[in-house]
Amino acid sequence: MKHNIDYSLYLVTNREMCEGRNFLEIISEAIRGGVTVVQLREKSMDTCEFLRNALSIKKLLSLSDIPLIINDRIDIALAASADGVHIGQNDMPLEIARRILGDDFIIGVSVNDIDSAVAAEKGGADYIAVSPIWSTPTKTDTPHEIGLSMTAKIVNAVKIPVVGIGNIKYNNCAKVLETGCAGIAVVSAIMAAENPYLASTELKKAIKGYI
């Protein structure tokens, strides 16, 4: 599963955006619409709930051979037999995460400058997420937006896939892909959409031709 990952349409979950709608149904509709990777990122879930959701999403994704990435929680990733984890600069160090998880797990790392991108690649990351390209209310713990110019510089500085994230929507995703990113990661563009399936299909059409 680790090789030949399609990062083109990468969904990062946020249950708080569901507004009473069924969390798993939104993810299921997003999968049906063309999402290629799902990251379970839920800071407010306790461990038991996090694991229950991870197991349910893993079951959904296994039907479509789509990888499940767990944000930060290596214990949950192992317990749910997820395909990988995503870690930030202030999470568990990449070297230790790799030692615990082994070579078969996908490990992604969030970066916001060239030095951290190069370090992540040297440290064995499988992909990096450049964040945030544009400021976003869904992640308040990130630095100021880095913009498209820095994103392009980071893409050119590494050989591993780069995914752009940060207030990416249908009308600006092409600009991100023009920097050379291997994909776009979205949160509200799908999770908050009235029709997650339609939102996913529209994004899929928008990125077609770039990847």
**CB-neighbour burial class of residue 123 (10 A; exposed 0-12, middle 13-18, buried 19+):** middle
Confirm if 85 and 108 have CB atoms less than 8 A apart: yes
Token couple for 98: 């790799």
| Residue 32 annotated as catalytic | no
Q: From the candidates 28, 131, 139, 200, which is the catalytic residue?
A: 139
Token couple for 162: 């780069």
| Residue 110 annotated as catalytic | yes
**CB-neighbour burial class of residue 181 (10 A; exposed 0-12, middle 13-18, buried 19+):** buried
| Residue 98 annotated as catalytic | no
Give the angle 204-205-210 at the CA atoms, nearest 5°.
85
Q: From the candidates 8, 28, 58, 110, which is the catalytic residue?
A: 110
Confirm if 184 and 177 have CB atoms less than 8 A apart: yes
**Sequential DSSP letters for 10-40:** EEE--GGGSTTS-HHHHHHHHHHHT--EEEE
Q: From the candidates 28, 41, 73, 200, which is the catalytic residue?
A: 41
- Which are the catalytic amino acids? 41, 110, 139
